Amino acid sequence: MSRKKIFLTEEKIKHRIEQLGKEISLAYLDQEVMVVGVLKGAFIFMADLVRSLTIPVKVDFVAVSSYGFSSQSSGVVQIIKDTGQSITNKQVLIIEDIVDTGLTLHYLKERFLAREPKEVKICTLLDKPARREVPLKADYVGFVVPDAFLVGYGLDYQEKYRNLRDIFIIEV
Ligand code: IMP
Ligand code: MG
């Protein structure tokens, strides 16, 4: 059993998501957005965020693997599941749990842009800028976090802890 320390409570996360929902709804005002969640980590954040949006949304998912079974990035990004709908001419909002090195979203964004969407924006619950390896700026950020390994609320360590309601720092 690894040691965990609470970092963000369920209440804090909920409050921040309500703010993000308002901010994003205002920015898109009556325009339709194609919300694309990055599995698996973003599934809980995405479920809460889309319910805080008051604009028309379509929902899709991609699954990407960049870490394998370790807490260190291999730097290799692999698409395991692509979007089921076309993103051409759509306003795409990618939803991610955490931006770390930036490699995953850098790759995904480039790949999406090649399909000629109207635009591609990024919303991440957590941003760990200290570990960035490629320049990647998210358009909407829930919380800027320190260089520590976080679990809970969708985030895993070796596929565990995704179901925790709060976010914890874990010693790995
Ligand atoms: P990046 O490509 O290095 O930006 O990594 C993005 C992915 O790495 C995220 O979608 C997470 O799945 C995973 N990741 C990065 N940092 C953490 C963390 O602190 N806890 C859990 N997963 C993480
Ligand atoms: Mg992830």
Contact 98, 145 (CB under 8 A): yes
pLDDT of residue 76: 72
Show the CA angle centred on residue 129, arms to residues 107 and 82, nearest 5°: 25
Atom of ligand 1 nearest to the CA of 97: 10
Phi and psi angles of residue 17, each rounded to the nearest 5 degrees, phi first: -70, -35
How many structural domains compose the chain?
1
The predicted-structure confidence for 81-121, as pLDDT tens digits, reads as follows: 999 999 999 999 999 999 999 999 999 999 999 999 999 99
The predicted-structure confidence for 48-76, as pLDDT tens digits, reads as follows: 999 999 999 999 999 998 655 555 555 67
Cross-strand partners of 126: 98, 143
Q: Is 100 a catalytic residue?
A: yes
pLDDT of residue 136: 95
What's 160's DSSP letter? B
The residue annotated as part of the active site, out of 82, 97, 100, 166, is 100
Atom of ligand 1 nearest to the CA of 155: 21
CATH of the domain at 123: 3.40.50.2020
State if residue 126 touches ligand 1 by the CB under 6 angstroms criterion. Answer: no
Q: What contacts 47, CB < 8 A, 6 or more positions away?
A: none
Q: How far is the CA of 56 from the centre of ligand 2 (A)?
A: 25
> What range does the domain containing 165 cover?
4-170
pLDDT of residue 72: 57
